[in-house]
Amino acid sequence: MPSMIRLFPFLLLLLFSSCGEEKNDTPIPFALVNQDINLNLVQYQNLRNMGGFVYIPQGDNSGFKGLLVYHEGNGIYRVFDRACAFDPYANCDPLNVDDSGLFIYHDCCQSSYDFHGNPIGGPATSSLRQYDTYVDGIYLIVRNN
């Protein structure tokens, strides 16, 4: 019994140290993504340049709130759902690239993200939902496998 008494303060410390700030992010709901983007089409010409991006509106096979397609360079493309990772159900415009072109932001949830989808400002603590991509000839294939 004396060893239990010595163990009690340690258990209390362990309990309170695990009770940190609650995470308020809401998971972005699953939505099918199945896009074959012809990189030669005029509406996707911004994707030919490093740092170029386009928006694909919400619709069939384009995620929960639509897609943001970003060309990182060297044939690497990142595709994110345009829903805020903090509050994907917010009834407002989806996330956008800032006018400076340096980060992604969402007005309603007041969160900002880098181009890897990581939160860099605001209340969001979760990353954006990112989809799988690969280039096949002139097509950028986007899936959520």
pLDDT 10s digits, 56-107: 999 889 999 999 999 999 999 999 999 998 989 988 889 999 999 999 999 8
Whether 46 and 55 have beta carbons less than 8 Å apart is answered as no
pTM of the predicted model as reported, rounded to 2 decimal places: 0.81
Q: Is 15 among the domain residues?
A: no
Q: Which two tokens stand for residue 3?
A: 């060893």
Task: Tell me if 9 is assigned to some domain.
Answer: no
**What is the CATH classification number for the domain harbouring 137?**
2.102.10.10
Q: Return the pLDDT at 24.
A: 62
Going by DSSP bridges, is the β-strand pair 139-143/76-81 parallel, antiparallel, or unpaired? Answer: unpaired
Note whether residue 4 is domain-resident: no
pLDDT tens digits for range 5-58: 444 444 333 333 333 344 567 788 899 999 999 999 999 999 999 999 999 999
Query: What's residue 25's pLDDT?
Result: 73
Structural domain tally of the chain?
A: 1
Judge whether 16 lies within some domain. no
CA atoms within 13 A on the CB side of 8: 6
Residue 124's identity, in one-letter code, is A
Domain of 121 in residue numbering reads as: 24-143
- Number of C-beta neighbours around residue 120 at 10 A: 14
